[in-house]
Structure 1
Amino acid sequence: MLTPQIIDTVVRAALTEDAPWGDITSQLLIPAEARATANLVAREPGVFSGGGVFAATMTAADATTETALHIADGEAFEKGAVLASVTGPARSVLQAERVALNLVQRMSGIATLTAQYVALAAGTKARIVDTRKTTPGLRAFERHAVASGGGHNHRYSLSDAVMAKDNHLAVLTAHGGLSVTDALRAVRAQLSHTTHLEVEVDRIDQIEPVLAAGVDTIMLDNFSLDELREGVALIAGRAIVEASGNVNLNTVAAIAATGVDVISVGALTHSVRSLDLGLDVDVTAAR
């Protein structure tokens, strides 16, 4: 998902946004021939993600810049760890610094938070997955970060799968002229065998009519723990069971223990705190 082409497009747009007419501070203060070595240093512990993005940002600023990654995406690190080192023209390193940090800090924050959710669901069959509540333009970056933290990705876009949610069903009921079961069967008949069909329900009594249509996944939205257990028992393996709503670090372990297959967590990307990482110039190397 996070291809070199996607990385390059986002990184170059971000660099242009940050220095549309050049970095006048570095141009005025830093000699053109000066070179710099800088280290990406962790100010707090976490899980790393975005090494390739960090390196690509530095290279986009100047093709002669070299980055050495000292840790792989998905690896945990402690405070003070040197995660990467970069060497190149000083002006370019300084110009790329903020963009590179912004991206790798956010991605590592997502990976770190995801790892916490995954750890709390350990010992159950529940997968922790993300949602489409991502930053516009950065979905591939944020989805990659979720995977770095041990989570899984939901559908990438509206084009990937049919996912009928409450608003779809409300419009269908008002204007479709068909029962939910018949309408979903009609959808199923038009889909290729490779296209997934998921339906959201918010009441127990909606489950059987949806199951009768032959759906692949049923999302139990904002169900209580008792209702989740009842839903899992009722579905009885006839579809994948996804839990959604009211999922946080305090509730995820109990939700996972109900027997659901998937837990979708919007907070992985929409409420995450960027990790505190810094880029420190190696003064010794610069002498």
Structure 2
Amino acid sequence: MEETGLDIQELEYIIDHAFREDIGEGDITTNNLVPETTSAKASMTAKADGIIAGLPIAEMVFKKLDPNFSWNPKFTDGDAIKKGDLIVEMEGSFRAILTGERLALNLMQRMSGIASETAKYVAEVRGTKVQILDTRKTVPGLRSLDKYAVKAGGGTNHRIGLYDLVMIKDNHIKLAGGITPAVKQIRKAVPSTIKVEVETTNLNEVREAISAGADIIMLDNMNNEMMTEAVGIINGKAISEASGNMNLSRLKGVAATGVDCISIGALTHSVIALDISQNIIQS
């Protein structure tokens, strides 16, 4: 299987859970119509243009059903594909091909949809210093796959969860009594290796976040004029991140403000699956 950088045990858990959900005690249609020893050849074909992602995960699906399954991809994750392209040829147990089809396609279509959408945003800021970041707005239990797909589309993963980066937001600030005491309290509690991000909504909060020593300053729901001023105030003392209602039509204008990053929830929370079909070639 192609190296993904994903945790194999986590992938096993995701696929096993999906099998329990979809197959249960057995595929009663396939198992009662297809002899156990029958083999077949099949293929997956693109029915739309996009960026492919999830090929190694789909391979894992079929190989869990048939360890001797043959998987011959014509592309690798992150490649651009066109409508009509042959994506992969496969051969193995006919039962495995039919039983694993829906799970393999569900995962690949979602992941390819995320990669394809991410690639559109990345293309909009090409030639600038801006990084396109994802968010935690992912399907519960599938975050690792969603974020892998963002990377396949050329994006950058932001924090993976609540544990790997401090993000002090408005409710935290209210509870702590302000940005400065919130950052001070956090700095005492967490290792220095963990970055601290602070959400700001106006220029006074930006100034306070800089003085407090934030590593990353989120410019939340600011218009482009205010963001430009905020970037000038930050002046390299922290990483600047634009966030809030970001879409393709806004992207070039936001990038022109000089921000370092733009975080976009729509990469993963409003996915349109890339259309891919699976067909039997020979049985």
TM-score interval, normalised by the smaller of the two chains: over 0.9
1:49-198 alignment, distance < 5 Å: 49-173=53-177, 179-198=178-197
What residue is the counterpart of 2:43 in the other structure?
39
Residue 29 of structure 1 pairs with residue 33 of structure 2: yes
CA distance in 2, matches of 1:184, 1:194: 15
Deviations 1:129-157 (A, max 9, x none): 10000000000000000000000000111
- SS at 2:212 equivalent: coil
2:168–2:182 Cα contact (<8 Å) kept: no
Length-normalised TM-score, structure 1: 0.94
> What is the identity, as a one-letter code, of the residue corresponding to 1:154?
H
What residue is the counterpart of 1:264 in the other structure?
263
When structure 1 is superposed on structure 2, of 240-249 and 183-192 the one drifting more is: 183-192
Deviations 1:5-44 (A, max 9, x none): 2111111111121110211111122122211111111001
When structure 1 is superposed on structure 2, of 105-114 and 206-215 the one drifting more is: 206-215
Cα deviation, residue 172, structure 1: 2.0
CA distance in 2, matches of 1:170, 1:193: 24
Length-normalised TM-score, structure 2: 0.96
Structure 1 segments, 4+ long, off by >3 Å, are: none
Q: Structure 2: which 5+ runs fail to align?
A: none
CA distance in 1, matches of 2:174, 2:119: 36
Residue 19 of structure 1 pairs with residue 23 of structure 2: yes
Q: How many residues align?
A: 279
User: Percent same amino acid among aligned pairs?
Assistant: 42
CA distance in 2, matches of 1:96, 1:182: 53
What residue is the counterpart of 1:278 in the other structure?
277
Q: Structure 1: which 5+ runs fail to align?
A: 174-178
What residue is the counterpart of 2:199 in the other structure?
200
- SS at 1:212 equivalent: helix
1:8–1:60 Cα contact (<8 Å) kept: no
CA distance in 2, matches of 1:243, 1:233: 14
RMSD between aligned alpha carbons? Answer: 1.1
